[in-house]
Amino acid sequence: MIGQPLPRRAGTPGPPPTLGAVASPGATRSPALHPVVGFDLDMTLVDSSAGIAATLRATLAEHGVHVGAADVDLYAGLPLDLIIAGLAPGTPPAAVDALVARYRQLYPSLGVDSVTAYPGAAAALAAPRAHGGRSLVVSAKHTPNVHRVLAAAGLDAAVAAADVAGDLFADAKGPFVAAAGGTAYVGDHPGDVAAARAAGAVAVAVTTGAHDGDALRRAGADVVLAGVAQVPAWLEEHVLDLRTAALRHRLAALGSVLVVLTGTPGSALLLAEAAAVLGPDRVAAAVPSPAPGTARARALAAGLGIRVHELPAGTAPGPLAARLGLAHVAGGQDADEVLPRPGSRSGPAGGDVATPLRDAALTGEQVRAASRRLALPGPSGEPVAAADVPAAARD
């Protein structure tokens, strides 16, 4: 208890507890359009190792327990009570709690000033906002000290106070991340992989902590990066994954479609994804005639086994869709395009033409990136073989 010296340790600190991989509960919500990325704090966004070690050594020294920096390193990333119990084995739980409280008293004066943000940390926190999303910071550190560290590292303006949580470790972080709609969680510890799994989010690991890439992959990390400076580049792919999933979800909800092929990358991507999701028997293509620049689109449709129908100039596609027994007309407009286009109210029942790419928030650049993933024909490209696109689109 506080005020009484703890017995000196016999031997070395006890081994730190280990964590197995935690299975993901699976995605139960509709696909997200915008990224919500959770970040661990210590050794992920900031290098706080010196301050943590100094505060731990001071706390334990007050009670007759002396540890070296190497001892402290063995417990990097674990909750404070587990660290203290490991560094001072045999300490009664009530005394551990008292030492935790004393550590928290000392940390603001001994641990905060030495904290430094890792290169790229501010940009990593800002990156989700550029895609319409937001960042979270979720840490095992005591919540008031999370805010102190963010401020000391110059990161407090990059994340809303309501999106910061402390006193959570491993899968206990999951509910906070999931409640915020988290799509990914970034951390340096196997416990952070467990947090991502508990939230149903992508597990992104960084090797700036005590664990190397192999250890983090064994824990179940989906992605391993050298540090948070690589998060913005990775996020571009993550957002494309999210929006491609949303596109497929939207196409599945439509059930059957007549795709208006205009020779644009958007209409080609839409046709390929519709063929993959719905199957060629529930998809047809309408090609305006005359229409220059649609030769490759026609070749793509033929390669996919999709029926191609001529659409005379000035003819709405809705009646054709109705004759073919298809529930919707769909166009390849993306999120950057201004709607409506001429004839956009020409579905089978006189309703709007569906715009699945736009509904999935896919921008023009993302449409081009998704097309490159599938090797779809561009303005000067070659048509893709029939067997290639559906398989790629399902990956």
pLDDT in tens, 349-390: 445 789 999 999 999 999 999 999 988 764 444 544 333 443
Domain-embedded: residue 185: yes
- Looking at the structure, tell me whether residues 97 and 138 fall in a common domain: no
User: What range defines the domain where residue 77 resides?
Assistant: 49-114
CB atoms closer than 10 angstroms to residue 366: 23
Tell me the average pLDDT of the chain: 86
User: Coil, strand or helix: which one is 245?
Assistant: helix
Q: Is residue 17 part of a domain?
A: no
Q: Which of 236, 251, 240 is nearest to 367 (CA)?
A: 240
Residue 19 has pLDDT above 90, yes or no: no
pLDDT digits (tens, 9 = 90+) for 252-266: 999 999 999 887 899
Sheet containing 184-187: order of strands: 164-165, 134-138, 36-39, 184-187, 202-206, 223-225
Q: Which of 217, 243, 269 is the last residue of a domain?
A: 243
Domain of 220, CATH number, reads 3.40.50.1000
Residue 184 lies in a domain: yes
Per-residue model confidence (pLDDT) at position 24: 38
pLDDT tens across 136-168, in order?
Answer: 999 999 999 999 999 999 999 999 999 999 999
Q: Is pLDDT at 3 greater than 80 in this prediction?
A: no
Query: Would you state the pLDDT for residue 291?
Result: 65
Considering the domain boundaries, does residue 4 fall inside one? no
In tens, the pLDDT along 222-279 reads 999 999 999 999 999 999 999 999 999 999 999 999 999 887 899 999 999 999 999 9
Which residue, of 97, 114, 131, is where some domain finishes?
114
| pTM, rounded to two decimals | 0.83
| Shared domain check, 165 and 34 | yes
Model pLDDT, residue 73 = 80
Domain boundary among 66, 83, 114: 114
Of the pLDDT bands very low, low, confident and very high (cuts 50, 70, 90), residue 29 is low
94 found inside a domain: yes
Q: Tell whether 59 and 161 lie within a shared domain.
A: no
Q: Residue 376's pLDDT is what?
A: 79
